[in-house]
Structure 1
Amino acid sequence: MVSARPFQAVVRNPLYLQVAERIREAILSGGLAVGDALPPERELAEQFGVSRASIREALRALQAQGLVEGKGKGLVARAASGLLSEALTHVVRLRLASLEDLVELRCVVEAAALERAARRGAPGRLDAARQALEAMCRPDVTVEAFHEADVRFHIELVAASGNRAMHLVMLAMRDAMSRHLLEALRAAGPGVMRRLAEEHVALLDAVERGDAEGVSQRLREHIQGFYEGSVVAPAAAVGR
């Protein structure tokens, strides 16, 4: 039996939502690259044939979605990693997933990326990771400098996999977990930092030798060992 009303009424979106959708599509399709500055309000109003008030509303909507950032003439298209990191941070803070869950997710993604990097055999792609490792091994390295180099080391190893999606997810997890890592390093002391640096040496060596299975196992032990002992357990104790 055919319904007496098979169609829904057409929804007429406000002009600012139509403008926001077109700019959003330009960002997501790559027409506006990450970091590109958006045209001024007046120019956008002329291009879309709408008022500047509609443009301002559209830009506010896009900022709320995390697709543009900045103020006034400094509005630019935002990186997807920023959206992912905010989402992951909210997930943890709202307790929709635990920090332990995020650590496990990182292990899965990074282990797969390092296996891929080891199989690719691309020494030139590891130069940035090697530089970060050298910074970690300096005898006078501060906790903050070690933390920055540590994060950069892992990001560069994942980038060496050549998988852009893995790289973006890793960037997002870096931002979501960075505070926990830095606090744990401050509490751990120089001995732990030396051990972590030695483990990084072994990770880089395994990737360079093409030891895909070995680097995956080392990575899991490295990540889980540090977070279970220095981040997750203390955080759980504080929460009790």
Structure 2
Amino acid sequence: MFRKLYRAPSMAAQCADEIRTAILTGELRAGDKLMPERELADAMGVNRVTLRNALGQLQAAGLIRAKQGSGYTVERFRDCGGPELLPAIVRVRRDDPEQRIELVADLLLARRHLAHAALSKIASMDQVELEGSVLAFQRLEDACERGDIQAIAEADIGVVAAILDATGSPVFRLALNPVAAALDELPELREFIYREPDSNVQGYRVLLGWMSVREPDGVPMLVAMLEQRDRETVALMREEMEDE
């Protein structure tokens, strides 16, 4: 009865993306004023309704502010933006090898700090629901057996999400989403993180075993394991960059 729909990005989304990129790359700096609406709409080849929709998206993201009679002014995104900007920042910087490596190192560090916080909370809990984490781990094992690297990457994030869910904290769980979305903008990263997927499986097997006993003294060891894996990932990326 229904045909499958293929939806291209809306014109408003494309407008917002163009202006967002100009802000995140520094082409438009904090304090700069955008052209008047009519001129900007003409320059971008859209009508003013479409442009206003795009500008509304950018205002909501903290990238610009509107002042009656003065038009739109660019904000300092580091002060006014939120973590949802991370994927866009990765997109505009990933073509520079040094910036790409720095971004990866920072994102992995953020994930590691989140893991440390979550494990510390789990260690203090009287009871932890393990079913979700076990099921997520089984999906990772299945993906590794198939050798599908995209499925492995998705299942890996699924295990992390399940462990964060086990803390019962919406703060921890929601903090993962922008980091995961930013890492997803770097599909080439998967070949470095999952070069030896069996080591990922073994690491999570140790982690699940710890979650059943939750000894606080085990937290530093688990975080150290994750840090070592992250260091190896960054080192492999740097090695390939130097070989190019």
TM range (shorter): 0.5 to 0.7
Q: How is 1:44-193 mapped onto 2 (pairs within 5 angstroms)?
A: 56-64=50-58, 83-86=84-87, 89=90, 93=94, 95=99, 97-124=102-129, 126-138=130-142, 140-142=145-147, 143-178=149-184, 179-185=187-193, 188=195, 192-193=196-197
Q: Secondary structure at the match of 2:168?
A: coil
Measured in 1, the distance between the counterparts of 2:107 and 2:163 equals 19
1:226 deviates by: 2.1
| TM-score normalised by L of structure 1 | 0.58
Cα distance change of structure 1 residues 65 and 165 upon mapping to structure 2, 3 Å threshold: farther
C-alpha distance in 1, partners of 2:127/2:189?
29
Contact 2:140–2:159 (Cα < 8 Å) also in 1: no
C-alpha distance in 1, partners of 2:227/2:92? 20
Question: What is the DSSP-based 3-state SS (H/G/I as helix, E as strand, rest coil) of the residue aligned with 2:146?
Answer: coil
TM-score normalised to the size of structure 2? 0.57
| Residue aligned with 2:145, SS | coil
Cα 1:92/1:111, change in 2 over 3 Å: farther
* Residue identity opposite 1:118 in structure 2: A
Distance in 2 between the 1:212 and 1:183 partners?
33
Structure 1 stretches lacking a partner, 5+ long: 1-52, 68-79
**Alignment deviations for residues 178-223 of structure 1 (CA, whole Å, 9 cap, x no partner):** 435422256x2xxx222221210111121221223313421331x2
Question: Is the contact between residue 118 and residue 208 of structure 1 (CA under 8 Å) also seen in structure 2?
Answer: no
Aligned to 1:203: 207
* Map of 1:225 onto structure 2: 228
The amino acid that maps onto 1:238 is: E
Equivalent residue for 1:239, pick from 225, 238, 241? 241
- Contact 2:105–2:234, Cα closer than 8 Å, also in 1: yes
For residues 92 and 107 of structure 1, the distance between their equivalents in structure 2, rounded to whole angstroms, comes to 22
Instruction: Give how far 1:153 is off.
Output: 0.2
Aligned mates of 1:172, 1:235 — CA distance in 2: 22
Check the 8 A contact 2:124/2:216 in 1, yes or no. yes
Cα deviation for residue 137 of structure 1 reads 2.4
Greater gyration radius: 1
Residues 136, 149 of structure 1: 8 Å contact kept: yes
Once the two structures are overlaid, the 10-residue window that deviates more, 58-67 or 195-204, is: 58-67
Q: RMSD across aligned C-alpha pairs, in angstroms?
A: 3.2
Aligned length: 169
Asked if structure 2 preserves the Cα contact closer than 8 Å seen for 1:151 and 1:174, the reply is yes
Aligned-residue sequence identity (percent) comes to 18
Instruction: Note closer, same or farther for the CA distance 1:122–1:101 as it changes in structure 2 (3 Å cut).
Output: same
Please list the CA deviations of residues 140-177 of structure 1 after superposition, one character each: whole Å capped at 9, or x if unmatched: 33233222211100122122223323222222212222
Pair 1:87–1:204, CA change in 2 (3 A): farther
Query: Given that residues 99 and 232 in structure 1 are in contact (C-alpha distance below 8 angstroms), is that contact kept between their aligned partners in structure 2?
Result: yes
